Amino acid sequence: MRENPTMFLVSEPNVKALGSILLAHGSGAPMDTPFMDKAAGALNQAGLRVFRYEFAYMAARRQSSKRPPPSRFEKLQEELAQIWENWPVDGPRYLGGKSLGSRVSVSLASRLGAVGAIALGYPFHPPGKPENVRLAPFENLTTPVLILQGTRDPFGTPDEVSGYSLPSLVKIHWIQGGTHDLSVRKSDPEPFVQIRDQVAAWLPG
């Protein structure tokens, strides 16, 4: 299994870039799913250059019929730290991701000196286990974090999250009717337009 990804999937904004973001996938799907395509498009529209990448365990799935599970959290942190160190971009640099990818990104944002971090469906706890709260990445936070969370997300609902002691640097936008992959009902507002608008408003002008 390789230690680092050998490929970025890069997409550019149609306007002058306000920065670049390393965007990580979730635990069970790669960087080029329809969700990740739409998320990258929304971030581009908000003004960010998007560099999608895969952790080694996910990249290994492309080379074999086997499906290795996600690596240990500490191993994923090590991989991202090395990717960040060798990331050849200038200007403001952000971290972000979906679910597991967001958890790893938030946990390293302050340590690596990211300007900010964006979480697309943060896994506050495993579904059905609200007692197993994953708040350690928010400890000693010194960089802003924007969380885009669905109101029907089994990994953290508005009622549950309102009871957490999150730092003031954390901003949460609730996507009405959204599930963990931010899928909504027909009667709910379009989620990726909200991602675009919320990120654009959150980014430093």
pLDDT in tens, 122-138: 999 999 999 999 999 99
Say whether pLDDT at 5 is over 60. no
Confidence of residue 181 (pLDDT cuts 50, 70, 90): very high
- In degrees, rounded to 5, the angle at the alpha carbon of residue 27 between the alpha carbons of residues 21 and 38 is 50
Contact by Cβ (8 Å): 134, 123:
yes
- What three-state secondary structure class fits 63? helix
Confidence of residue 7 (pLDDT cuts 50, 70, 90): confident
Section 36-55 average pLDDT = 97
Section 159-187 average pLDDT = 96
Tell me the C-alpha distance between 196 and 173, whole Å.
12
Contact by Cβ (8 Å): 182, 148:
yes
- In degrees, rounded to 5, the angle at the alpha carbon of residue 25 between the alpha carbons of residues 24 and 27 is 125
Q: In sequence order, which residues have a C-beta less than 8 Å from that of residue 203 and are 6 or more positions away?
A: 18, 19, 46, 47, 48, 116
Question: What local confidence, expressed as pLDDT, does residue 82 receive?
Answer: 95
Say whether pLDDT at 1 is over 60. no
For the chain, the domains span 9-202
Q: Which tops the pLDDT comparison, 191 or 63?
A: 191
Question: What local confidence, expressed as pLDDT, does residue 205 receive?
Answer: 65
**In the chain, what percentage of residues exceed pLDDT 90?**
89
pLDDT digits (tens, 9 = 90+) for 53-107: 999 999 999 887 778 899 999 999 999 999 999 998 999 999 999 999 999 999 9
Write out the E strands in the chain. 9-11, 19-24, 48-53, 93-98, 116-120, 145-150, 170-175
Read off the tokens for 127.
């579904």
Contact by Cβ (8 Å): 101, 80:
no
Say whether pLDDT at 146 is over 90. yes
Q: Average per-residue pLDDT in the chain?
A: 94
- In degrees, rounded to 5, the angle at the alpha carbon of residue 202 between the alpha carbons of residues 15 and 186 is 85
Question: What local confidence, expressed as pLDDT, does residue 63 receive?
Answer: 84
Say whether pLDDT at 175 is over 60. yes
Contact by Cβ (8 Å): 155, 127:
yes
**Domain 9-202 fold:** Rossmann fold (3.40.50)
- The sheet with strand 116-120 has its strands ordered as 9-11, 48-53, 19-24, 93-98, 116-120, 145-150, 170-175
SS (H, E, C) 95-150: EEEECHHHHHHHHHHHHHCCCEEEEECCCCCCCCCCCCCCCHHHCCCCCCEEEEEE
